[in-house]
Amino acid sequence: NAGVTQTPKFQVLKTGQSMTLQCAQDMNHNSMYWYRQDPGMGLRLIYYSASEGTTDKGEVPNGYNVSRLNKREFSLRLESAAPSQTSVYFCASSMGLQNTGELFFGEGSRLTVL
């Protein structure tokens, strides 16, 4: 069972370049999330999608866009990468509040912006 799959696992960009992080889950979950992790900051929510067709901003949305392509897929796009976006990015999913609220995480994507 694959769970939550993120691609790519590693990426190096130059300032101003664009890229998309892909995320897919095979657990039929309703909700999906993008977090970033920085040293000493914990995980901070960038965007989330409570259900197919809806997206909402989290704590740190500036510089990012998202697309909930279908129930399985939730992508994160950096239109013009900046060094401040160097981070580890995690995609997560959950069934929603029908269960006990647990989030299932992907393995993370390390992004470096030079």
Distances (CA, A) of 61 to 46, 48, 77: 5, 10, 11
The type of residue at 108 is G
Least spacing, CB of residue 70 vs another protein, in Å: 19
Q: List the interface residues with another protein, window 23-52 (CB under 8 A).
A: 31, 33, 35, 40-45, 48, 50
Spatial separation of the C-alpha atoms in residues 54 and 5, rounded to whole Å:
21
Binding window for another protein (CB under 8 A); candidates: 16-24, 61-69, 77-85, 94-102: 94-102
DSSP H/E element including 73: none
Binding positions for another protein, rule: CB under 8 A: 31, 33, 35, 40-45, 48, 50, 58, 88, 90, 92, 94, 96-97, 100-103, 105, 107-108
